[in-house]
Amino acid sequence: MRNRMKRQAVTIVIDGVGVGALADAESYGDAGASSLSHSARSALGLRLPVLERLGLGNIVSVEGVEAVERPAASWGRMAERSPGKDSTTGHWELMGCPLSEPFPTYPGGFPAEIIGLFEKKIGRRILGNRPASGTAIIEELGAEHMRTGCPIVYTSADSVFQIAAHEDVIPVRELYRLCRVARMILSPPHNVARVIARPFIGTPGHFARTRKRHDFSFPPPGPTLLDELSASGREVVTVGKIHDLFAKRGITKIIKAGGNEAAMRSAERALEKAVPFSFLFINLIDFDMVWGHRRDAAGYARGLERFDAWLERFLKLLVPGTLFAITSDHGCDPTMPGSDHTREHVPILAAIAGEDFGRPLGTRATFADLGSTLAEFFGVRSFAGKSFLASLYR
C-alpha cells in the first residue's frame, strides 16, 4: 500500500446526471424522473463505450449501453439523504456534510424586508423578484433594465438569489459587488444556498448570458472532507464551480472553467503537467446549466458522448493506485416538464487505477458514502456515510 500522504484521488461530478427517481421524488414533483435513461431514449440510444466498460449499464437501463459481465469499476447508485435537490446540498453531502433541514426557497419571491434592505444598500430599485427561467426573465425585463439601470432579481425552485445585469449597464465587477451585498443580507432564516451573478450581453430580442457567472455560497455548516484533507497538509485542487459551492473552504488550488469543454481540458492539463494534488475534484456543469435546465435532451445526449470520448484519454493519465470516482449531485431530467432539477439517485462508478476490477456497490443510503470512502483512502476523519473502499480492491 502506498504511503497515504502520497496517495491521489480524482472525483468527477457530471452535474445533473441522475439515474432514477428517489422514493420521495413525487413530493418534489419529480415522480418518474430518470435523467440518463430518458436522454438516451430521446436520442434513440447513446454510444458510451468507456462508461459501458466501467459498468454504467449495470446501474440503470440506458439505451445503447449494455450491462457487462465484468465491469472495470465498482458500480452502484447513491440516494440523497439531505432534503432538496440543488448542487450545493448534493456536493456537500458527497463530501460528508449532509443537511437535516433544507435551504429556504421562495416560490412567491423574496419578502419585502429582504428586497427593501437590498435596494437600500445598493442604491437601486430592482426588477423581477419572482421564480423564473433565467433566459426568459432576461428577455422579458432586459430592455427595461437597460433603460433604468435596475438589476433583475429572480429565483427558482432551488435556494438561489440570482441577479442579472447587462455588462454595459452594470459592469461585471459591480454586479459581483451587488451579489456580495445580497450575500451579507441573506443570513438565517433567509440563508439561501447561493447568490448568483448572471451577467448578459446583447440587444433586446438577442440577449445572451455570458460565462462570467459567479456563485456566492453560504458556507458548509460543518466540516467536510475538503477541510480534513487541506488541514492535514494535502493539496485539494478543484476544477469548475466547486470552489463556489464550498465558499472556497478547504481548497488549496482553484482552476476555473466555463463549461464542460474548458473543465475537461483543464483537468487533463492538470494531470499532464503534474499539478501537485492529493484530491482533484472536477465538476462538469453543462449537463445541468446548458442542457438540463433548458430541456435540451439532444444536447444532453451529445454531451454524454463527448464526455465518454474524453474519459478514454483522461483515465490513461491517472497514476496507478489513484482512486477515481464518477458521480453526480442531483438529476436534471431534460425530458421532464419545467426547468428545475429532479430528485434522483446518482450513479457511482469507482475504481483504483490499474486494478481493472469491480464489484456491485448496490444502492447506497447517502451520497456521503463517497466522502467516507475517500476519507478512509486518505486516512483522515469522516463524518457521515459508510465507506466502500474494500470493494475497490481484489
Q: What is the pLDDT of residue 151?
A: 98
Q: What angle do CA 218, 222, 224 make, to 5 degrees?
A: 95
- Same domain, yes or no, for 308 and 351? yes
Residue type (1 letter), 387: S
Spacing of C-alpha 239 from chain mean position: 11
pTM, two decimals, is: 0.90
The CATH number given to whatever domain includes residue 86 is 3.40.720.10
Domain count across the chain = 2
Among the candidates 188, 217, 246, a domain finishes at: 217
- Same domain, yes or no, for 350 and 263? yes
- 107: in domain: no
Residue type (1 letter), 122: I
User: Are 339 and 133 in contact, with CB atoms under 8 Å apart?
Assistant: yes
- Same domain, yes or no, for 211 and 290? no
- Same domain, yes or no, for 335 and 323? yes
Among the candidates 168, 187, 217, a domain finishes at: 217
pLDDT tens for the 394 residues of the chain, in order: 457 788 999 999 999 999 999 999 999 999 999 999 999 999 999 999 999 999 999 999 999 999 999 999 999 999 999 999 999 999 999 999 999 999 999 999 999 999 999 999 999 999 999 999 899 999 999 999 999 999 999 998 889 999 999 999 999 999 999 999 999 999 999 999 999 999 999 999 999 999 898 889 899 999 999 999 999 999 999 999 999 999 999 999 999 998 999 999 999 999 988 889 999 999 999 999 899 999 999 999 999 999 999 999 999 999 999 999 999 999 999 999 988 899 999 999 999 999 888 999 999 999 999 999 999 999 999 889 999 999 999 8
Q: What is the pLDDT of residue 2?
A: 53
Backbone angles phi, psi at 199, to 5 degrees: -70, 150
Q: How far apart are CA 18 and CA 326, in angstroms?
A: 12
Host domain of residue 302? 4-102+219-392
The CATH number given to whatever domain includes residue 188 is 3.30.70.1250
- Same domain, yes or no, for 126 and 74? no
Residue type (1 letter), 298: A
- Same domain, yes or no, for 125 and 265? no
- Same domain, yes or no, for 24 and 120? no
- Same domain, yes or no, for 87 and 125? no
- Of 376, 380, 95, 371, which Cα lies nearest the Cα of 234? 380
- Of 187, 209, 185, 189, which Cα lies nearest the Cα of 198? 209
- 63: in domain: yes
